[in-house]
């Protein structure tokens, strides 16, 4: 009886808070940025990268179709700022070098977060996951960059995986073959950059296909600008994915430049940006 009484008089056990596992944290649905937050992020990203707001919009629109490449000394910082704006701490940051020859090599670097970003994209197909490929001419990207683009197009990698790259304009570089250049969308910042001047305000929605009205508007402005053929079709699909508050007509100059790049890479003709992907003459 005394044992029963003692047990009855015992204070209730306190419930211990059990910390969430890393898996539970990674699986939690990210908070979605609203329209006003995304508009503010676009402006802040332009300041951070030195790109215009329209160029940033073009980068975001093309990041799930091709691979936009920010050129210049601050290109790597710009690429990191863009993917951070889109995905925050979930973004992957990969620094390319000559020792990373395959996609498997890139995935083995746990510090880069590339595999985690791919897994995050699969868990949350409704948002953009983001990867910065810094210094793609620092290593032989011809072995893995087309693989990323084509596997994503075929659905073997998540289609909501946004990829933004950078390339330096000086120093030693590993040349990029012409067959790989067509996957790129080079952009040069026109303004001084302020790296780190952008904050992640929430996840960005992944494109769910292309709205017919936006595609028609994109085709209309690009046809008026003189584009035609396969370059027209590819540019129009990308332009139609631009943030919804930006008119296709406002982006026509950015995409005319991209069309010129595509034509040069497909035909093998000269383009002023090709020198940044060729073997540098000493």
The pLDDT, as a whole number, for residue 202 is 97
Residue 11 confidence class, pLDDT cut points 50, 70, 90: low
pLDDT in tens, 28-70: 778 999 999 999 999 999 999 999 999 999 999 999 999 999 9
Q: Residue 223 and residue 239: Cα distance in Å, rounded?
A: 13
> Residue 113: is its pLDDT beyond 50?
yes
Query: Pairing mode, if any, of strands 161-167 and 129-134?
Result: parallel
Residue 197: which of 77, 99, 94, 64 has the closest Cα? Answer: 77
pTM above 0.85, yes or no: yes
> Residue 267: is its pLDDT beyond 70?
yes
Residue 242 confidence class, pLDDT cut points 50, 70, 90: very high
Q: Residue 145 and residue 23: Cα distance in Å, rounded?
A: 29
The pLDDT, as a whole number, for residue 281 is 54
The pLDDT, as a whole number, for residue 171 is 81
> Residue 15: is its pLDDT beyond 70?
no
> Residue 7: is its pLDDT beyond 50?
no
Whole-number percent of the chain with pLDDT over 90: 79
Looking at every residue in the chain, the average pLDDT score rounds to 89
The pLDDT, as a whole number, for residue 265 is 93
> Residue 13: is its pLDDT beyond 70?
no
């Amino acid at each position: 009886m005394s044992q029963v009484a003692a047990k009855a008089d015992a204070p209730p056990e306190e419930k211990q808070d059990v910390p969430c596992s890393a898996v539970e944290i990674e699986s939690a649905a990210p908070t979605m940025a609203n329209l006003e937050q995304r508009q503010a992020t676009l402006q802040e990203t332009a300041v951070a990268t030195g790109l215009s707001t329209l160029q940033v919009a073009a980068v975001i629109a093309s990041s799930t179709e091709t691979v936009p490449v920010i050129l210049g000394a601050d290109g790597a910082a710009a690429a990191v700022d863009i993917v951070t704006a889109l995905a925050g701490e979930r973004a992957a940051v990969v620094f390319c070098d000559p020792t990373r020859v395959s996609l498997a090599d890139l995935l083995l670097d746990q510090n880069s977060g590339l595999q985690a970003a791919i897994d995050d994209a699969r868990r949350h197909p409704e948002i953009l996951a983001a990867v910065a490929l810094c210094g793609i001419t620092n290593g032989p990207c011809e072995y893995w960059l087309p693989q990323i683009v084509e596997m994503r197009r075929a659905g073997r990698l998540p289609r909501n995986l946004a990829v933004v790259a950078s390339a330096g304009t000086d120093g030693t570089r590993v040349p990029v073959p012409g067959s790989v250049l067509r996957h790129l969308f080079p952009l040069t910042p026109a303004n001084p950059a302020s790296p780190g001047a952008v904050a992640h305000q929430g996840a960005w929605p992944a494109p769910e296909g292309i709205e017919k009205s936006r595609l028609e508007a994109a085709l209309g402005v690009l046809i008026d600008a003189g584009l035609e053929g396969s370059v027209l079709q590819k540019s129009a699909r990308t332009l139609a994915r631009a943030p919804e508050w930006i008119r296709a007509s406002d982006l026509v100059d950015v995409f005319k430049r991209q069309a010129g790049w595509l034509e040069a890479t497909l035909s093998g003709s000269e383009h002023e940006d090709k020198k940044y992907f060729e073997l540098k003459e000493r």
